[in-house]
Amino acid sequence: MRFVIRVTLALAFVGCSRPGQPIVIGLAAPFSQSRGVSMQRAAELAVSEINAKGGVRGRRLELRIRDDSASEGAALRIAEDFVEDARIVAVVGHLNSATSRAAAQLYRAASHPLPMISPSASSPDLSGLSPYFFRVCPSDLSFGQQLAHYAYDVLAARRAGVIFVNDDYGRGVRRTFVAEFTRLGGTVTEEDPYLPRVGSAEPYLSRMVASGGADALVLATDRASAEIVLRDRAQLGLTWLTLGGDGLTGIEAIGPLAEGLRITSAYLPDRPGEKNAQFVAAYAQANPGQYPDHRGAGSYDIIYLLARAIERVGADRSAIRDYLANVGGSEPAFDGVTGRIAFDAKGDVPLKPVVIGVVRSGRLVTERTP
């Protein structure tokens, strides 16, 4: 029976690129959560634009969309489905580091490995995880360092408190911020792992007050946790300058509580350049009143990068992977709305800059570029 199944799958893969059939790309992220919305919308926009121009090699692109709920278990189940579907040639996703780590191992171990490109999984531990894993965002090594330099050099902060979510993302930002801030001469007074089940940040903030306070409060958390911290900071009457990583993207929607919050990001919609202006306008036309975030812009670039790869080498998983591994080397770098994409040997984009955004009147706008 196993022999029959393997032969059937092998024959399916042999016939997966027949002319006329759609070229299918997997799309996986927590789409039922606010952080996944922009990613899906931007990927769908890119596909519609490409198809309107005739597709790739005369074939339409098609997305197979699955919601992983930011769950490692769900990500594994989706990865199993994706690798067994001979029509899928690559995956855009997953969104966060933990799900990307789980899925990447399975994509690599499959009999027909599946290349994946994440728009936003930023944990340093993902570097070199798999020859089939790529990402178009900087790692937390860049985000944490930029936060440290901005806090120390621009805000003149000398004492910092850190609240972090105890996962791959939170630990990565916290670790790199603390290392760089102390190297610059600053003092980290508190490093507290936020426990979502508590539902309050008051104990953490009160402990920081008792230890002498802080010039800067750094949030290496997700948006939901950061909202609780900002609420409790206001209730305690604390006016500490507050900064966070790109996991806080979208928090500007909560209104005055987020005013003045600084956030690191690989992309902000006010990025200069005609290509980005056209993308933002097209995104707003398709989604009135909305702006793309870094996850959406990254996904938009990934779809176009995959289209270029398929145009060049065909709709074959292995060939696409090999093409991606050489982008920025023997193959030209890709100039997208998020900037230049050139992969190193670990699937990272080490030359991708990090910008500092600030919340002003309900918008996250660029305050500082490298």
Please check the confidence at residue 9 and state whether its pLDDT lies above 70: no
Cα 242 from Cα 232, distance rounded (Å): 13
The bridge status of strand 355-360 relative to strand 363-368 is antiparallel
Q: Which amino acid is at 270?
A: D
- Quick one: fold of 2-138+272-341? Rossmann fold (3.40.50)
3-class SS of residue 358: strand
The one-letter amino acid at 224:
A
Closest CA to 116 of 71, 73, 69, 66: 66
Nearest residue to 181 via CA among 154, 207, 202, 221: 154
Question: Looking at residues 103-128, what average pLDDT do you find?
Answer: 96
Question: Residue 199: what pLDDT?
Answer: 82
Residue ranges covered by each domain of the chain: 2-138+272-341, 140-265
Percent of the chain with pLDDT over 90: 85
**pLDDT value of residue 8:** 42
Q: Are 242 and 225 in contact (CB under 8 A)?
A: no
Does residue 3 have a pLDDT over 90? no
pLDDT for 369 beyond 70 = no
pLDDT in tens, 185-228: 999 999 989 877 778 999 999 999 999 999 999 999 999 999 99
- pLDDT the model gives residue 237: 96
For residue 41, the Cα-to-chain-centroid distance in whole angstroms is 15
In this structure, CATH architecture of domain 140-265: 3-Layer(aba) Sandwich (3.40)
Q: Which of 206, 192, 280 is nearest to 237 (CA)?
A: 206
User: In terms of Cα–Cα distance, which of 28, 257, 235, 230 is closest to 120?
Assistant: 28
**What's the pLDDT score for residue 168?**
85
User: Is 88 in a helix, a strand, or coil?
Assistant: strand
Is the pLDDT at 4 greater than 50, yes or no?
A: no
Q: What is the pLDDT of residue 274?
A: 96
Instruction: For residues 44-69, give the mean pLDDT.
Output: 98
**Per-residue pLDDT for 370 more than 60?**
no
Between CA 325 and CA 331, with CA 328 as vertex, the angle to 5 degrees is 75
pTM (2 d.p.): 0.89
Helix (H) or strand (E) holding 63, with range, is strand 61-67
Q: In the predicted model, what is the mean pLDDT of the chain? A: 92
Which pLDDT belongs to residue 7?
Answer: 41
Do the beta carbons of residue 117 and residue 341 sit within 8 Å?
Answer: no
How far from the centroid of its chain's Cα atoms is residue 176's Cα?
17
pLDDT at 271 over 70: yes
Q: What share of the chain has pLDDT > 70, as a percent?
A: 94
Q: What is the amino acid identity at position 177? A: F
164 within 8 A of 173, measured Cβ to Cβ:
yes
- pLDDT value for 195: 78
Whether the per-residue pLDDT at 15 is higher than 60: the answer is no
Give the model confidence (pLDDT) of 308-347 as tens digits. 999 999 999 999 999 999 999 999 999 999 999 999 999 9
pLDDT confidence of residue 14:
45
Domains 2-138+272-341 and 140-265 share a fold: yes
**Contacts (Cβ under 8 Å, ≥6 apart) of 161:** 188, 189, 190, 191, 192, 208, 214, 216, 217, 218, 240
How confident is the model at residue 6, as a pLDDT? 45
Dig out the tokens for 289 from the structure. 């009143």
Phi, psi angles (nearest 5°) of residue 187: -120, 130
Looking at per-residue pLDDT, the higher value among 179 and 6 belongs to 179
Pairing of strands 262-265, 241-244: parallel
Paired strand residues for 243: 218, 262
